[in-house]
Structure 1
Amino acid sequence: MIDRNLRFVGHVEAVTSVQFSPDGHLMASASQDRTVRLWIPCIHGESSALKAHTAPVRSVNFSHDGQFLVTASNDKSVKVWSVHHQRLLLSLSQHTHWVRCAKFSPDGRLIASCSEDKTVKIWDAANKVCIDSFTDYKGFANYVDFNPSGTCVVSAGSNHTVKLWDIRMNKLLQHYQDVQTITKLATLHGPVLSVAFSKGGEKFASGGADAQVLLWKTNFDTFNYKEVLKHHIRRIHTDDPPHLLDIYPRSPHSHDGKSQSIEVSSRITHNNICSFSI
């Protein structure tokens, strides 16, 4: 059983996203009440509200140094906040529909966002500009994240797909459930709602409406990645984070709380996948 030790009260509508700061001293939450809250995760549950969004807030994410917060909202914007000063720093507003998720790159220079306008956008946070836009005409992404080196983004789709994009070459590397471009590892039953890379980037996990968590291999060991990068004359190394000059400028391309336990399922036995039913 899960022991709910502390209850934090502050939001007046559903909480859509929560995250701890890297040092664990703060916790951020986003809500349908249009606010973001910064909490001190102690017995008193003290918090302060960040207000600037004009519609429900979908996601919240700390930068890796814990100094900044990026949020995504149904008001079609991505906003960046100062954690220390607790104030709005900038707003990115080129999406034309609800923004589902926004994440910082590992070094904090870039932001990836996904929207119901069927695009995944890459932003230069310092210069407040969109430097790349990937379009999925068959659906929209619910969730997006960077790999540990900051060279690729993975998106989780409403159309039961997971896609891996290289932001240096501005191209789709892998499309799970597209048998023409990669071996299909498993059938995804229902919208994919979340994705996350492992620390080394060799695997990533996805979770969706089918109540399963799947563990995938990126296949970089079988995909001749360095050979592909040789054709990209500005960068041939796979481990270093991309420099902004490599990808900018570019023209855009067209709770439920009832679950109390986790059970390992044996329904999928492929060597590359572990499946957990919740």
Structure 2
Amino acid sequence: MASALEDPVLIRPFRGHGAAVTGVGFSASAAELATSSLDRCLMIWKLKKQCRAYKFVGHSDAVTSVNFSPEGQLLASASQDRTVRLWIPCIHGESSVLKGHTASVRSVSFSHDGHLLVSASNDKSVKIWSVQRRRLLFSLFQHTHWVRCAKFSPDGRLIASCSEDKSVKIWDTVNKTCIDSFIDYEGFPNFADFNPSGTCIASAGSNHTVKLWDIRMNKLLQHYKVHRAEVNCVSFHPSGNYLITASTDGTLKILDLLEGRLIYTLHGHKGPVLSVAFSKGGEKFASGGADGQVLLWKTNFDSFDYKEVLKHHFRRIQTDDPPHLLDIYPRSPHLHDEKLQSVEVNPTFDVADTLTVDPPVVEISSSPSFGTLDDVSNEDLQYPSASVLATSSKRKSENESESAMHNVDKEIGLSPSLGNALENIVEQLDVLTLTISILEQRLTLTEDKLKECLENQQKILPQGRQEE
């Protein structure tokens, strides 16, 4: 059993959302934490003490997912309003809306080079977007039910998606085809993600289980049943040796994948835990719950130089044939139950910081879309000082925004009628994008039916010849 000094510790809670927290994600430096919520907002928390929090308002419905770009210069969010937004995390609230899905968007995630974005939706599709051009590149259709989650592999060549059709699918981003599928007949996966080396996938199940799949050998490696309710989210420690899980039973569990056992059970949320994520270096992790709280934890049990780990993982994802010397194979598939000895951490009795009050929240409304990434200066990405923010108000920000837009129109020489015409054109383009998306889906279904007919015809023809 681990000693007290090695156990995870709750650093502090953050309160600011008005509803359940659906997603959490750290910036590359681990200095900021982004969260999404059913309250239609996303927030950025500066993790230094006595710093303000920033609430970004723009989505018209619940925000279901949030993700920092690898460099931390952009923030992506997904919403039940059927859109994906790209934000510049600054006080101007600049965002760009990506439209293409025809139903609620459940997740959004950057590729590891930051050039692409993948989204999963209740319209049964997975869509890949260009970050710089802010446009849809292509869609993937094969799921037969709502797609809950989609993630890029570390090298960006593969995408893993999970759906309520009870499958986890692996996609080739070059050929745009499904190359493998893992079926879970006991329940559907709520969440799926690659391990840091890109050789395994972990799925969080509605049937209270967590499963690890080897994507090269196409087999189940580990199967954990340590929760008493559905598992909503998982996150790999950057070392790949640990996995943290979040469940509707109100707990977080930390699994040691090398030993194949549960090592920690963490309490703190009052109700279901919906999201969890390690920081890029693994020294912290955060969890979000239905209670509207964000809990920040210190990992403690494994510290290392993340850059060194990335070097090892880079060597692991090369195209040479397996087995790879640096790959760590977990033990043979076996079921784990709750009777194994593990450490219970209840922060009610031992919280590192009980005195720090919740940070003041600055609400930022979305402003018109920004240009390409080449137009974004480093200065725009910096947060303002507290003294500057103290003199600003929501009304002042709105007035400045309107004034700025008026000045821009004046400098360009746009008449009101021309401005209205351009707005109408943009609206028509949005409608056209949605129409194309629907046509893509129908075309895919038609191709599947045609393929099925041809296969049936090939089976019937030999039978007819034998009868003759």
What TM-score bracket applies, with the shorter chain setting the length? 0.7 to 0.9
2:83 counterpart (35, 40, 43): 35
Instruction: Give the structure 2 partner of residue 270 of structure 1.
Output: 341
Instruction: Give the structure 2 partner of residue 239 of structure 1.
Output: 326
Matched, 1:19 2:53: no
Aligned with 1:8: secondary structure? strand
Instruction: Give the structure 2 partner of residue 195 of structure 1.
Output: 234
Instruction: Give the structure 1 partner of residue 252 of structure 2.
Output: 213
1:60 counterpart (85, 89, 108): 108
* Contact 1:61/1:71 (<8 A) preserved: yes
Instruction: Give the structure 2 partner of residue 228 of structure 1.
Output: none
State the alpha-carbon separation in 1 of the partners of residues 137 and 155 from structure 2. 18
Matched, 1:51 2:90: no
Distance 1:238 1:57, change over 3 A: farther
1:201-242 deviation digits (Å, cap 9, x = unpaired): 0111100111211110113689xxxxxxxxxx94121536xx
State the alpha-carbon separation in 2 of the partners of residues 270 and 109 from structure 1. 39
State the alpha-carbon separation in 2 of the partners of residues 3 and 169 from structure 1. 44
Instruction: Give the structure 2 partner of residue 129 of structure 1.
Output: 177
Distance 1:86 1:237, change over 3 A: same
1:87-109 deviation digits (Å, cap 9, x = unpaired): 00110000000000000000100
Matched, 1:147 2:216: no
Matched, 1:109 2:196: no
Q: What residue identity is the alignment partner of 1:198?
A: H
Distance 1:110 1:25, change over 3 A: same
Q: Who wins on radius of gyration, i.e. which is larger?
A: 2
Give the CA RMSD over aligned residues.
Answer: 2.4
* Contact 1:105/1:111 (<8 A) preserved: yes
Which structure has the higher relative contact order (CA within 8 Å, separation 6+)?
A: 2
* Contact 2:74/2:86 (<8 A) preserved: yes
Distance 1:39 1:137, change over 3 A: same
Distance 1:94 1:85, change over 3 A: same
Instruction: Give the structure 2 partner of residue 167 of structure 1.
Output: 215
State the alpha-carbon separation in 2 of the partners of residues 170 and 217 from structure 1. 22
Distance 1:277 1:109, change over 3 A: farther
| Distance apart, 1:200 and its partner CA | 1.1
State the alpha-carbon separation in 2 of the partners of residues 159 and 43 from structure 1. 42
State the alpha-carbon separation in 2 of the partners of residues 38 and 46 from structure 1. 8
Aligned with 2:56: secondary structure? coil
* Contact 2:222/2:260 (<8 A) preserved: no
| Distance apart, 1:136 and its partner CA | 0.5
Q: Give the TM-score of the pair, scaled to structure 1.
A: 0.78
Instruction: Give the structure 2 partner of residue 76 of structure 1.
Output: 124
Distance 1:24 1:76, change over 3 A: same
1:140-192 deviation digits (Å, cap 9, x = unpaired): 00000000110000000000000000000000011112xxxxxxxxx301110
Distance 1:211 1:200, change over 3 A: same
State the alpha-carbon separation in 2 of the partners of residues 17 and 81 from structure 1. 16
Q: Give the TM-score of the pair, scaled to structure 2.
A: 0.47
Distance 1:134 1:221, change over 3 A: closer
State the alpha-carbon separation in 1 of the partners of residues 96 and 344 from structure 2. 40
Residue segments in structure 1 that go unaligned for 5+ positions in a row? 178-186, 223-232, 241-266
Equivalences, count: 233
State the alpha-carbon separation in 1 of the partners of residues 340 and 219 from structure 2. 31
| Distance apart, 1:7 and its partner CA | 1.9
State the alpha-carbon separation in 1 of the partners of residues 231 and 345 from structure 2. 14
Q: What residue identity is the alignment partner of 1:63?
A: S
* Contact 2:83/2:97 (<8 A) preserved: yes
| Distance apart, 1:270 and its partner CA | 3.2
Q: What residue identity is the alignment partner of 2:202?
A: V
Aligned with 2:107: secondary structure? strand
State the alpha-carbon separation in 1 of the partners of residues 67 and 244 from structure 2. 17
Instruction: Give the structure 2 partner of residue 93 of structure 1.
Output: 141
Distance 1:212 1:3, change over 3 A: closer
State the alpha-carbon separation in 1 of the partners of residues 346 and 204 from structure 2. 18
State the alpha-carbon separation in 2 of the partners of residues 2 and 234 from structure 1. 46
